[in-house]
Amino acid sequence: MDEKARALAAAKSAAGFQAADMVEDGMVIGLGTGSTVYYMIERLSARVREGLHVTGVPTSFQTAMRAREYAIPLTTLDDHPIIDMAIDGADEVDPHLNLIKGRGAAMTREKCVAAAAFQFIVVVDEAKVVSRFAAPVPVEILPFAVTPAMAQLRGLGCRPVIREGVKKDGPVITDNGNFIVDCTFPSIADPAGLEKAMAEIPGVVESGLFCGYANKITVIVGNEKGIKKITSADIVP
C-alpha cells in the first residue's frame, strides 16, 4: 500500500471507528453502504463480541452480507419504522451539511433509513468536505421511464449519463431493480431546490441529494491524525 492509500485508509478507519463507538446498548441503527462504513461495521462487530446488544437495518444487499459476516443481528424498517441512529458515508458534504450520496447506488434505501433515524451520523475522510458541490448527482430511475426522465433532467441543466456496470455489460441495476443516471452540473447553487425538482420528474425514484437533515446530522471527518466532528451548531448562517 502506497503512502496516499495508507493515509486514506487511516482516515476512513478513524471516522468509522468513532461512529461505532457512539452506538449505545440496545440501539437499532441504520447500516449504510460504502468503504468508510465498513470500517464502522468492523469496529461494531468487535463491540458486539464484547457484549453490546445492537440491531442493524442494512441499506443494501452488500451491507447485509457484510453485517452477517461480522455477526451483527439485522432487522428491517417493517419491524422498526423508527430507529435510533443511522450511520452512513457521503460522496460530498457542503458547508450547510447537505450531502451528495449514491456512488454505491444505494441512496434510495439510505435516504429511507436516514429519514427514519433520530440521529444521522455521516462518516467521511476530509477530502469529502467541500465548499461547493462538484460531484455528479446520482439519480435512480425506473428503466421504463429512463429516456423521458433523462430529457427532463437535461432541462435542469445537467449532463445525464446512465451508469455502466463493471464486470457486467450494460447499466448498473440497483437493489431495487432500477437504473442509476449520474447527473453532472456546471454548478449547484440551490441543492434543496434541485432535490425537489428531481423528485417531481415522473420515473425518478430518488436522487443522491440529501438536504434538510442538518438538525440531526453529525459529520465525523477522519484524517491520519484522528477525527473532528461537524454539527448544525458549526453552520455559519
Q: Determine what percent of the chain is predicted with pLDDT higher than 70.
A: 99
Side-chain half-sphere exposure of 176, counting CA atoms within 13 A: 19
User: Lowest mean pLDDT: which of 52-56, 139-143, 155-159, 225-229?
Assistant: 225-229
- Evaluate whether 3-130+211-234 and 137-207 have a shared fold: no
Beta-bridge partners for 182: 138, 161
CATH 3.30.70.260 fits 137-207, yes or no: yes
CATH class of the domain whose range is 3-130+211-234: alpha beta
Residue 163 DSSP label: P
Q: Is 111 annotated as a binding residue?
A: no
Q: Residue for cell digits 448544525?
A: 232
- One-letter amino acid for residue 69 of the chain: E
CB atoms within 10 A of CB 7: 14
Q: Is 90 annotated as a binding residue?
A: yes
Whole-angstrom distance, CA of residue 96 vs CA of residue 212: 9
Q: What is the mean pLDDT of residues 206-232?
A: 92
Q: Is 128 annotated as a binding residue?
A: yes
Geometric angle at alpha carbon 120, from 118 and 122, rounded to 5°: 170
Q: Determine what percent of the chain is predicted with pLDDT higher than 90.
A: 85
CB atoms within 10 A of CB 151: 11
Q: Is 110 a catalytic residue?
A: yes
Sign of CA dihedral 179, 36, 68, 167: positive
Report the predicted TM-score, pTM, of the whole model to 2 decimal places. 0.94
Q: What is the mean pLDDT of residues 92-116?
A: 97
Helices in 79-124 by DSSP H: which ranges?
A: 107-116
Q: Is 174 annotated as a binding residue?
A: no
What are the b/e assignments for 189-218, b being 16+ CB within 10 Å? eebeebbebbeebebbbbbbbbbbbbebbb
Q: 3, 92, 110, 224: which one is catalytic?
A: 110
Q: pLDDT tens digit string along 150-194?
A: 999 999 999 999 999 988 899 999 999 999 999 999 999 999 999
Q: Is 104 annotated as a binding residue?
A: yes
| Confidence at residue 9, expressed as pLDDT on a 0 to 100 scale | 85
Whole-angstrom distance, CA of residue 159 vs CA of residue 80: 38
Domain boundaries, the chain: 3-130+211-234, 137-207
